[in-house]
Structure 1
């Protein structure tokens, strides 16, 4: 098994021993990819104390053999997973205590598994692989840096292209075209362009509203590169910067800077969130910051760890976290500034996104 995947699998096996599990099924596709390298859309991994299998259907037999050569390929052919369970269970030594990812398996699936092999004690496990994924290794960081670079370049390109009269939808399409032709294998999520009052909706979907001078324009975009994601938000204003915009933007920027200065590994996500939230609350906008400060990012756009008012878990060193305070005012719009950082023992180890935070775009003709 490749050294990288072997280290990850062995870490899981140690947890299996601690929990007295004979086998473990991995069904969440990001976790399948993390442990095996397989990138297809249908597969289950099975780990025992000594063996490792990948179960998939005809569409992916060759791909699985190439991408996960150290896993034994078990071919599913025109049968559901539950239908092959009895024979597969015997092939792997008839384990008695078998773990499954309870956050990713439906009640119906679990019931069919119990019916298929009633001899098994099915043991729910949660976040075992996600906890490993929270700390990024050098190879993962290299991919995330490249995804961040593509996002930075895309934001800089869009900044040059924004004009009064352009629709939100046109702006989002310009960004997506550039991202896909300048190093991104895909967008990390549907690009957000929210102008004027639409910016009060944190996850507004771009529409036909036209950009206007003097209004806030929230742009949230990210790239996916070799499976890994980036996430970047900037807020712009075209032509002129009204006093209200200047005030709200300054508060959000101070809040982000406070978090970047004060956060470090070992703090809970709630404590990190409070660094920024206290600044916004002190300025009188506490009720207008309704989401958490940030989230982990990697093989998924939102993954562990989290930074928010209810995030009680400590953030580990080596985690990649977004830092994205915002203020959202109904009828006016919003301001959000978001960057990705690597968390270190002594503070922020690296700011991965480097797009300009200058919000003013000089007046241009439509």
Structure 2
């Protein structure tokens, strides 16, 4: 749920940093577009700048009637106050951080009207790649002849990568809910006769009662454990869990102001893992712990990847999963932990370290930790038990 807990000064600081970028790039303004409508992914940039989430789901444009329904946009001029543009009057006056709010079902047209009002009609940056579909983009180009649109998709994402102390607290709160949800899921999955769907339901029950949402729960089990998610729509099935099944899940959601948790766990249903299963599961845990141990300000993402990946190779459980982690906050963000990564870890970042390990004929195990990076320490947020079958 979005509330008005975030101090308005935080938003002022965010706008100022965007304006600095506008001046550095000789931009008249930056237009930031994000979608809404339920799943919460691809909403992060407008939430970050305006504390607003569009309530309607995506709908194809109705020519001349609406364009960009289910989205919202923020126009940040190089100087002066930003403007929020929403597609309907369903916005929370008690939450939104921006004073100038305009309502129009034709978002592209309203964006250009704002740009003309502030005389920003030359070079304008556009942050829209993650959430703008082709129809409103074409409409935007059609109604803005003469404007030089400069692609700036990663601009706000790069600002989001460095969190404030208040954002750290929101991540702690969200991870508390995520930990409880993962515990409930794994307890259910450890019980023979339960289904994958019932395990997902146990997690959803915890999160919804806490006022949060699960973005998804990527579940696989038994003979299908080598899949990332066997059901796909949804990401779980109604398969009944049997004694000796590996059950794994990568679960991600949010509970405080849109800030996320994202972690993975693996259990074995009804019994202790076999020796082969234990090698895979313990190897996944050891690899992630090695990555966390390597994580500190000043190291590169590639060095963190090397620490994690080396464990998988040494133990013979590397399945070629090529992501070792990423920043997280209002979304999954850069920097990404991957082979050869040259981005440098900094204090103020929130990093998820993850892996999927496996061996043919045994199955796959998922494991993931969420941490906060301080100047002199690493704070672990994902405290859900690493070995749920021992509960």
TM-score, normalising length from structure 2? Answer: 0.83
Q: Is the contact made by 1:280 and 1:289 (CA closer than 8 Å) also made in structure 2?
A: no
What secondary structure sits across from 1:194 in the alignment?
strand
Q: CA deviation at 1:38?
A: 1.6
Mark the CA change 1:170 to 1:102 in structure 2 (over 3 Å): closer, same or farther. closer
Bigger mean CA offset, 4-13 vs 26-35: 26-35
SS of aligned partner of 2:174 = helix
Alignment check: 8 A CA contact 2:328 2:352 kept: yes
CA offsets 1:80-117 (integer angstroms, 9 cap, x no match): 23334554332112432111115244565444333323
Q: Which consecutive unaligned segments of at least 5 residues does structure 1 have?
A: none
Which of the residues 253, 262, 265 maps onto 2:294?
262
Q: CA deviation at 1:350?
A: 0.2
Structure with the higher helix share, 1 or 2 = 1
Aligned counterpart in structure 2 of residue 174 of structure 1, from 185, 202, 220: 202
Query: Which of 149, 159, 167 pairs up with 2:176?
Result: 149
SS in 2 for 1:54: strand
Q: How does 1:31-110 map to 2 (within 5 A)?
A: 31-41=45-55, 42-48=71-77, 49-60=79-90, 62-63=91-92, 65-76=93-104, 78=105, 80-85=106-111, 87-101=113-127, 103-104=129-130, 105=132, 109-110=136-137
| SS of 2:264 mapped into structure 1 | strand
Secondary structure in 2 matching 1:281: helix
1:156–1:85 Cα change, 3 Å: closer
1:222 shift after superposition = 3.5
Compute the displacement of 1:310 (Å).
5.7
Residue pair 2:171, 2:329 contacting (<8 A) in 1 also: yes
1:181-232 deviation line (CA, Å, top 9, x unaligned): 2x24211x22233222221112333213222222321133244112111122
Match of 2:227 in 1: 201
Larger deviation: 100-109 or 218-227?
100-109
Q: Does 1:3 align with 2:9?
A: yes
Query: What's the secondary structure of 2:249's corresponding residue?
Result: strand
SS in 2 for 1:73: strand
Distance, in Å, in 1 between the alignment partners of 2:134 and 2:340 is 27
After superposing the two structures, state which structure 1 stretch, 172-181 or 45-54, moved more.
172-181
Tell me, yes or no, if structure 1 residue 215 matches structure 2 residue 245.
Answer: yes
Cα distance in structure 1, aligned partners of 2:180 and 2:222 = 24
In 2, are the aligned partners of 1:193 and 1:219 still within 8 Å (CA)?
A: yes
Q: Per the alignment, do residues 160 and 111 of structure 1 end up closer, same or farther by CA in structure 2, a change over 3 Å counting?
A: closer
The answer to whether the 8 A contact 1:194-1:218 is kept is: yes
Secondary structure at 1:285 match in 2: coil
2:68 is matched with which residue?
none
Does the aligned pair in 1 maintain the 2:171–2:259 contact within 8 Å?
yes
Q: Post-superposition shift, 1:280?
A: 0.7
2:142 is aligned with 1:115: yes
- Which one of 13, 22, 26 corresponds to residue 20 of structure 1? 26
Give the CA RMSD over aligned residues: 2.3
Q: Please give the TM-score of this superposition, normalised by the length of structure 1.
A: 0.88
* Equivalent runs, 1:120-131 vs 2, <5 Å: 120-131=147-158
From 166, 170, 174, give the equivalent of 1:139: 166
Cα distance between partner residues in 1 of 2:238 and 2:137: 45
Q: Relative to structure 1, is the Cα distance of residues 329 and 95 closer, same or farther in structure 2, using a 3 angstrom cutoff?
A: same
Show CA shifts across 1:132-184 (max 9, x none).
11111122111211111112122233344331121212221122123222x24
Aligned-pair CA distance for 1:235: 1.1
5+ unaligned residues in a row in structure 2: which ranges?
1-6, 35-42, 56-70
